[in-house]
Amino acid sequence: MRVAVFSTKPHDRRFLDAANAENLHDLVFLEPRLSEATVALAAGSEAVCVFVNDRVDRTVIARLRDLGVRLLALRSAGFNHVDLAAAEAAGIAVGRVPAYSPHAVAEHTVALMLTLNRKTHRAYNRVREGNFALEGLLGFDLNGKTVGIVGTGLIGEIVATIMTGFGCQVVAHDPVPSPRCEAIGVRYLPIGDLLSQSDIVTLHCPLTPATHHLIDDHALATMKRGAMLINTSRGAVIDTRAVIRGLKDGRIGSLGLDVYEEEADLFFEDLSNHIIPDDVFARLLTFPNVLVTGHQAFFTEEALTAIAETTIANISAFERDGRPLHPVQPQAVRQGR
């Protein structure tokens, strides 16, 4: 099957080529993101393969249908960037990679916590400049602290296990509690209680209408003063402007982000020779207690291998049975998964 692979980076090509070593499919690697302006590049392909910042809205889907595209193969677990109802109406099947390496994201989450707490990002630069002063580097013991996990699916469960290993009390909020978490002593709480009791709040729920701006001014007012907030789920789960207000008045002690609500204009590109026009993002970077990574939590050998292999398996299953191995159904949105 001919597949137009949008948003191709060198690593996508490397891992997809390896997964497609038997040349099962004709992969056409395209650097541009999928959008209304680039959708014509899918001409001649029966499938398109996209990543998290490709724009797969109603208009793009209608154009894909007109071009004869029948499958949308997502190289991601999240599918909030796809209009699933429009895809269903257009007769375009959607497949995703439900679990590639929850460990990759969970471990990056903990890396953000440890770095922000012990300020190793600042210590690294100081020591290289011959500055061995400790002022400003004071951290706290994780042992005995309360970590609040919002969303205990595949990733949240692993974060719970790791933080339990540090000796933390782990509390969680999820409409569907995880028996694995309950078995290791995680206590499920209403969101307000989680926010008011946690020294660290970490977000692992999907972006849905219910979780959009879940962390807003009201939620921040409920949090412990000086708490750490981590988001490796999706940018818009946090109201960034509200979080900046929280950082300015000291309510938030530190902030670790791997995702940002307007990241599509920034992330995955080298903009080091450009002016960043986004003032909200630029303001975030001025805080010494904010650490931002550019959506790299998934970025491990194991995860990229699994993403590529599952993507090829989705395409092969669709070619064989008319259905991807891991289909996304429109009702998944309503269930918040």
DSSP output for 102-142: HHHHHHHHHHHHHHHHHTHHHHHHHHHTT----TT------
Give yes or no: 129 in active site. no
Residue 113 CB, nearest distance to ligand NAD (Å)?
14
Residue 111 CB, nearest distance to ligand NAD (Å)?
12
**Span of 132-140, 198-206, 220-228, 313-321 interacting with ligand NAD by CB under 6 A:** 198-206
- By CB under 6 A, is residue 291 in contact with ligand NAD? no
- By CB under 6 A, is residue 78 in contact with ligand NAD? yes
Cβ nearer to ligand NAD, comparing 69 with 313: 313
Q: Which residues pair with 230 in a beta bridge?
A: 202, 256
Question: What residues from 10 to 49 belong to the interface with ligand NAD (CB under 6 A)?
Answer: none
Question: What residues from 317 to 336 belong to the interface with ligand NAD (CB under 6 A)?
Answer: 336
Sketch the per residue contact string, 232 through 271, with ligand NAD: x for CB under 6 A, - otherwise: xxx-----------------------xx------------
Q: Give 3-state DSSP helix, strand, coil % of the chain, rounded to 5.
A: 40, 15, 45
Gap between the Cα atoms of 75 and 98, Å rounded: 9
- By CB under 6 A, is residue 154 in contact with ligand NAD? yes
Cβ nearer to ligand NAD, comparing 225 with 334: 334
Give, as one character, the DSSP assignment of residue 60: H
Out of 20, 115, 146, 211, the residue judged to bind ligand NAD by CB under 6 A: 211
Q: Which residues pair with 45 in a beta bridge?
A: none
- By CB under 6 A, is residue 297 in contact with ligand NAD? yes
- By CB under 6 A, is residue 198 in contact with ligand NAD? no
Residue 190 CB, nearest distance to ligand NAD (Å)?
11
Of 55, 173, 234, 326, which is the active-site residue? 234
Give yes or no: 301 in active site. no
Tell me how many residues contact ligand NAD (CB under 6 A): 31
Instruction: Tell me whether residue 275 is exposed, middle or buried, using C-beta atoms within 10 angstroms of its C-beta: 0 to 12, 13 to 18, 19 or more.
Output: exposed
Tell me the CB-side half-sphere exposure of residue 122, using CA atoms within 13 A: 18
Residue nearest to ligand NAD (CB): 153
Q: Which residues pair with 2 in a beta bridge?
A: 26
Cβ nearer to ligand NAD, comparing 59 with 293: 293
* Token representation of residue 258: 């791997």
Neighbour-count burial for 119-141, b at 16+ CB within 10 Å, e otherwise: beebbeebeeeeeeeeeeeeeee
Give yes or no: 204 in active site. no
Please name which of 135, 190, 142, 151 lies closest in space to residue 169, comparing C-alpha atoms.
142
Residue 90 CB, nearest distance to ligand NAD (Å)?
24
Residue 66 CB, nearest distance to ligand NAD (Å)?
30
Gap between the Cα atoms of 175 and 152, Å rounded: 9
Out of 50, 56, 102, 306, the residue judged to bind ligand NAD by CB under 6 A: 102
Please name which of 184, 105, 202, 102 lies closest in space to residue 146, comparing C-alpha atoms.
202
Of 25, 81, 295, 326, which is the active-site residue? 295
DSSP output for 253-310: EEEEES--TTGGGTTTS--TTS----HHHHHHTT-TTEEE--S-TT-SHHHHHHHHHH
Out of 95, 156, 253, 256, the residue judged to bind ligand NAD by CB under 6 A: 156
Residues 6+ apart with CB under 8 A from 16: 5, 27, 29, 49, 308, 311, 312
Cβ nearer to ligand NAD, comparing 117 with 232: 232
> Which residues form the catalytic set?
234, 263, 295
Residues engaged in binding ligand NAD (CB under 6 A): 77-78, 102, 105, 150-156, 173-176, 204-207, 210-211, 232-234, 258-259, 295, 297-298, 336-337
